[in-house]
Amino acid sequence: MSTDGNAAYGKRTFTRSKSHFADRVTADGRDGWPVEAGRYRLVVSRACPWASRAVISRRLLGLEDAISMAVADPIQDDRSWRFTLDPGDRDPVLGIRYLSEAYDARETDYPGGVSVPAIVDVPSGKLVTNDYQRITLDFATEWKALHRPDAPDLYPEPLRGEIDEVMEGVYRDVNNGVYRAGFATKQEEYEHACRDVFRRLELVSRRLADRRYLVGDSITEADIRLFTTLVRFDAVYHGHFKCNQWKLAEEPVLWAYARDLFQTPGFGDTVDFDHIKQHYYRVHTGINPTGIVPLGPKLPGWLSPHHREALGGRPFGDGTPPGPVRVAERVPGVGRP
């Protein structure tokens, strides 16, 4: 999620910029960045859906020992993502106060904003990549040698064509669509984006009516990408972004699907509703100038029975669930929106 001109959101046409730093961390190190345990640091915000993909993937695959994680403050100042949640307002591993310092170490005055997720090379302090579309795919494929035993296959080769097709539509109309609606500057622009969001959600709902997961019989990258938008839908996108044709909790199939994933280890235990609401409502001053954060919605139903087990499927395929969340990475109040 970029922070270039937060105050301008809602005042100019929204366009999501491409990742400027698209190097990849690979098993063979072909871009100069070989997979290596302990060398890199994943910088995320728990507020950001794009970063949350990486948090979930890292946990499901058991990469906690292979790549450490820094969590930025959900509230930003004019220098963007900052480490004010850490002692001394500095990331304890990178020693920096702002993620922008890692960007500047790689390229001074580069075009674009400072975004998460980001992978930083610890020895040099330089940003490696902010390619949010690629990071999780590489976690699933290039980092296999460092996966935990019995980690699930989140991007199985026989299903990649179907996964990619599903993800493309979800990205365009849902993941990015809620932003196009929320940051629209003209009525027609907003209505077009909003209709795209709900048209795609209705298509996805029909797809999930008789199958537990989007592709195949276990969780894949496609489910991770849809979940990170769904879990924010009623708390943020329905009101703040005006995607209010209906609430997630009013759509039986998608609400049950989202609860199923939320209750699956690796999903709900990474969600911080406070960070999510604090960021959207306090940082996007272009569309919420008062900075008031709503008390609701109250969503105790996230932990209610979903009955999706009746559709079959195996959440982790031939793998196993991840172990307990490490103490240092636990989310306060998880499961209590």
Are 55 and 63 spatial neighbours (Cβ–Cβ below 8 Å)?
no
DSSP 272: -
Q: How far apart are CA 309 and CA 135, in angstroms?
A: 30
Does the annotation count 190 as an active-site position?
Answer: no
Q: How far apart are CA 134 and CA 32, in angstroms?
A: 16
Catalytic choice (9, 48, 190, 280): 48
Find, among 266, 258, 272, the residue nearest to 301 by Cα.
258
Q: Residue 250 corresponds to which tokens in the numbers above?
A: 């009013």
Q: CA angle, corner 128, sides to 124 and 132, nearest 5? A: 150
Catalytic choice (132, 179, 237, 280): 179
Find, among 293, 172, 170, the residue nearest to 239 by Cα.
293
**Any residues with CB less than 8 A from the CB of 179 and at least 6 apart, and which?**
14, 16, 241
The amino acid that residue 181 corresponds to is: A
Does the annotation count 155 as an active-site position?
Answer: no
Cis peptide before 117 (omega within 30 of 0): yes
Query: Beta strands 118-121 and 126-129: pairing type?
Result: antiparallel
Q: CA angle, corner 240, sides to 237 and 245, nearest 5? A: 55
Known catalytic residues are 48, 179
